[in-house]
Amino acid sequence: MSGPKPTSTSQSTVLGWLMPPLFLSAVGLALWLVFNASGNYFAWGAGLIIALTLLWVLVSTIFPRGPAERICPACGADTLVRAEASTTSGLVCKSCLWRDDEVSSFLLAEEEEDPIETTVLQRRRKQARKVVIRPWAGPTESATSAEPPTPPDPSSNPS
C-alpha cells in the first residue's frame, strides 16, 4: 500500500512567506484609496471586484472541477467507491475497508456510466412513499409512518 502523497514543502514555504506582505500591501492600498484617492478610484475598484467575481463564477461553470478524488483518507490508496449504488452518499475503501456513510459520493456517481438522475429520482420516490400526512396525529404521535393507523372513532369522543 502506498501512503498519502506528500505536499511540496518548498511551495508551501514560499506561499507562507508571501502571504503576510501581500495582505499588508492590500490593507495599505485600501487605506490609501479611502483617505487620499478620488471617488473614481473607488468606483473602479468596486467594479473590478464585481467583474472578477462574475468572471470566477463563469469560469467555474464552464470548466467544472476535475475528476472526483478516490484517495482514501485512512490508507492513502486510490480505491474509494460508493457505498451503495442506490444513493449519492457514503464511501468505502476497497483496500482497507474504511467506511463513511455521511460523506457525499455525488461526484463519484456522476462519473459512472448510469445516469445520476435515475438514482436521485429513485431516492425521491422512496422518500415520498414514507411520508404519510395524518391530520389527526396528536403531539405524541409521529407524522411519518410506513403504514397509517386507523382514524379515531368519533363515537368514543367524550365531548
Q: DSSP per residue over 63-128, as a string?
A: S---SPP---TTT--S-EEES-TT-SEEEEETTT--EEEEEE-HHHHHHSSS-HHHHHHHHHHHHH
Q: Which pTM does this prediction carry? A: 0.42
The answer to whether residues 136 and 150 touch, using CB atoms and an 8 Å cutoff, is no
| Digit-coded pLDDT (tens) for 77-100 | 888 888 887 788 899 999 998 999
DSSP β-bridge partners for residue 89: 104
| Digit-coded pLDDT (tens) for 99-115 | 998 888 888 887 877 77
Domain ranges of the chain: 16-62, 80-130
Q: What does the block give as the cell for 39?
A: 471617488
Query: What's the CA gap between 105 and 70, in Å, rounded?
Result: 10
| Digit-coded pLDDT (tens) for 4-59 | 454 556 667 777 888 899 999 999 988 887 888 777 877 888 889 999 999 999 99
Q: Is residue 3 predicted with pLDDT exceeding 50?
A: no
Query: What's the CA gap between 74 and 96, in Å, rounded?
Result: 8
Q: Is residue 155 predicted with pLDDT exceeding 80?
A: no
